Structure 1
Amino acid sequence: METLSRNCATLAALALMLMGCATAGAPQSGPHLSPAECSDLAALKSNPSPTKAQRQSELSALRKAGYDPAPWNDDPNYPDDLHAAQRLVDHWFQTDCQQAQPG
């Protein structure tokens, strides 16, 4: 029961954080991902064997989205918090990177 309460509280905090990101003026005014991150994420989607630099870029984007992969942190919300960050990075990729590409 305690785990359920803690998970609900964490989900509520995550929802509030995401709503704050969506409604705040400054974060929405510019891209969330750098051109290098856009390039690396596009390469990750099409390359079966990514480079270490591409994986580091992916990790950087996930950290921007709020994911903390610290190994000493026994995260009871894993993998849900990772999936939430991946969905946010995917959204950023679609909005930030697709608009920057010519065509």
Structure 2
Amino acid sequence: MEKRPTNRSTLAALALLLAGCAAPGMPQGGPYLSPTECRDLAALRSNAPVTMAQHQSELAALRKAGYDPSPWNDDPYYPDDLQAAQRLVDYWFNTECPQSSPG
């Protein structure tokens, strides 16, 4: 079985998820995604026309998950850091957003 290298973003996202620690901007002891972010992320997944506000909600959620989209930073970990943040946001969406619950 091939062993994949891990990077600091993946490790940081897993540490936040498993340890329950809060990064700056993350709520302590409550849901990570706001009701607005849940609504907008659901809309993005529905393939309906997307608004700028929905994209901004997605970016806010990715930032909560540790992604920094700064264009002035030559990020040697891109796209791994973005993908790690997307996995964490997907986990939050699936566990926190009522519309994502199987019914």
Please indicate, yes or no, whether the TM-score normalized by the shorter chain is above 0.5: yes
Q: Note if 1:76 corresponds to 2:76.
A: yes
Instruction: Give the counterpart letter for 1:15 in structure 2.
Output: L
Number of aligned pairs? 94
Comparing both structures, which one devotes a greater share of its residues to helix? 1
Instruction: Give the counterpart letter for 2:59 in structure 1.
Output: L
SS at match of 1:86: helix
Q: Note if 1:60 corresponds to 2:81.
A: no
Tell me, yes or no, if the aligned pair for 1:33 and 1:96 is still in contact at 8 Å.
Answer: yes
Q: Which runs of 5+ in 2 are unaligned?
A: none
1:4-23 matches, within 5 Å, as 11-12=7-8, 14-16=10-12, 18-23=14-19
Range that drifts further, 47-56 or 81-90: 47-56
Q: Which has the higher contact order (CA 8 A, sep 6+)?
A: 2
Tell me, yes or no, if the aligned pair for 1:38 and 1:97 is still in contact at 8 Å.
Answer: yes
Alignment partners' CA distance in 1, 2:62 and 2:96: 15
Q: Quick check: which has more Rg, 1 or 2?
A: 1
Tell me, yes or no, if the aligned pair for 2:35 and 2:97 is still in contact at 8 Å.
Answer: yes
Alignment partners' CA distance in 1, 2:62 and 2:51: 17
Alignment partners' CA distance in 2, 1:94 and 1:21: 14
Match of 1:40 in 2: 40
Tell me, yes or no, if the aligned pair for 2:42 and 2:100 is still in contact at 8 Å.
Answer: no
Moved over 6 A (4+): none
Range that drifts further, 26-35 or 77-86: 26-35
Q: Which runs of 5+ in 1 are unaligned?
A: 1-7
